[in-house]
Structure 1
Amino acid sequence: MSVSGSRLLITELQPAAGADAVVLLAGELDTVTSADLREAVTGLAARRTRPARLVLDLSGVTYCDNASLYTLLGICHALGMVGITVVITGTAAVVREALHRNRLAERLPMQVKPTAL
């Protein structure tokens, strides 16, 4: 799956059976493009064979507003309710700055080292 909004590219790497699902984000993550991300992960959660873990790689994010951080928090909680653990990795500097500015770094499941693909 690859979804391209006008400013955000969402690419899901096809995992091997039993492997983590990995979604790569590139571009601007904001109020408008967050809807595309919500739609993509909702589709992933609705699958018959859904992964036990979703890795969101934000290394390609060039802009991140406050609202999108709360979208990420909501995604983590919602997927957790259906048994999917979310890990956020590859946070670009703009994402890290926004996380600290909003005091959300401790509330989101961050992984410092990128996951091997």
Structure 2
Amino acid sequence: MLVLTLSVSIPGFKPRECSMANAEDCEKASVLQLAVFFGALYTLAIGTGGTKANISTIGADQFDETDPKEKIQKMSFFNWWMFSIFFVTLFANTVLVYVQDNVGWGWGYGIPTLGLAI
């Protein structure tokens, strides 16, 4: 995620901005710029795909089924797990889109990068 954030923030990793009035004259991304951007996307996709399917199972495995108190906590874990997924999805589809459109792509990618680091 950090490489993806850097690829949209550092001027050397992205083509120069151009006006939409004359889009034919816009500079295209270089091979290095494309390699960094798509390499970051592929790495992020592989990392997310490898953990997303397993993380709820790993979390649920921390509870002892024979202990009645932990059995109730396990149910609460899944409730909070789903609530957090839906809340973060709402945040990403509203607040982050607003930030990317009105503040900049660097901030739009920087906020989730900071969230993952924490």
TM over 0.5: no
Alignment TM class, shorter chain as reference = under 0.3
- TM-score, reference length from structure 1: 0.26
- TM-score, reference length from structure 2: 0.26
Which structure carries more helix by proportion?
A: 2
Which structure carries more strand by proportion?
A: 1
Q: Larger RCO: Structure 1 or Structure 2 (Cα < 8 Å, ≥ 6 residues apart)? A: 2
Indicate the structure (1 or 2) with the bigger Cα radius of gyration: 2
